[in-house]
């Protein structure tokens, strides 16, 4: 067996990768790629996203407690890399990755046009998880594009999942019997 230390988390991938949008007190917004997330409760609806304390995104979420999960499609893989390898402290990643901002309905952080799904969130608790903050948040609203999400599930081969490093994969479906 292969012993894993710092890469132990790769055993829990692939994970849906999304574009995490945030906004600061002064209205400056940002987008970063994020894969570490999980639903935390169905009733009330809550999610957890884990963001490194060093990221500009963490700074903005700490200021306003708002963020949005934007789930990109297959044709946005390049944007995933740009938003996951540069910091919004230094560059406007929306511009650099050619992402168009659209208005969210419940929060002031923007959404990203063309994404397959959106979850607007408000932080209820911030956990110091070590290198990351784990933001536990209320789901204020969630919606998906029926082109990609039908009968309450993702359509196979439509949305990229993060395997690790620069690799994404697409899933097949099979019935559990």
Ligand X SMILES: Cc1cc2nc3c(=O)[nH]c(=O)nc-3n(C[C@H](O)[C@H](O)[C@H](O)COP(=O)(O)O)c2cc1C
> Which residues of the shown chain bind ligand X in the complex (CB under 6 A)?
17, 30, 32-36, 50-52, 55-57, 80-81, 84-89, 132, 162
> Rounded to the nearest whole angstrom, what is the least distance from the CB of residue 132 to ligand X in the complex?
6
Please, which residue, 105 or 108, has the CB nearer to ligand X?
108
Q: Is the peptide bond before 14 cis (omega within 30 degrees of 0)?
A: yes
From residue 110, how far is each of 116, 152, 164 by CA, in Å? 15, 25, 27
> Rounded to the nearest whole angstrom, what is the least distance from the CB of residue 145 to ligand X in the complex?
21
Q: Is the peptide bond before 122 cis (omega within 30 degrees of 0)?
A: no
Please, which residue, 39 or 105, has the CB nearer to ligand X?
39
Phi, psi angle pair for 55, to nearest 5°: -75, 145
Please, which residue, 59 or 146, has the CB nearer to ligand X?
59
H helix or E strand, kind and range, residue 153: strand 153-154
Residue nearest to ligand X (CB): 84
């Amino acid at each position: 067996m292969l012993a894993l230390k710092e890469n132990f988390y790769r055993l829990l991938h692939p994970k849906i990768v999304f574009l995490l949008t945030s906004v600061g007190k002064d209205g400056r917004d940002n987008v970063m790629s994020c894969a570490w997330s999980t639903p935390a409760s169905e009733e009330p609806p809550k999610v957890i996203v884990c963001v490194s304390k060093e990221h500009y995104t963490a700074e903005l979420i700490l200021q306003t407690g708002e963020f949005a999960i934007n789930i990109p499609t297959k044709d946005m893989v390049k944007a995933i890399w740009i938003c996951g390898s540069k910091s919004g402290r230094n560059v406007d990643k929306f511009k650099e990755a050619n992402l168009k901002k659209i208005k969210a309905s419940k929060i002031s952080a923007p959404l990203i046009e063309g994404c397959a799904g959106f979850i607007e969130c408000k932080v209820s608790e911030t956990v110091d998880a070590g290198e990351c903050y784990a933001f536990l948040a209320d789901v204020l609203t969630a919606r998906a594009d029926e082109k990609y999400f039908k009968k309450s599930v993702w359509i196979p081969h439509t949305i990229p999942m993060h395997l690790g490093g620069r690799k994404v994969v697409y899933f097949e479906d099979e019935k559990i019997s």
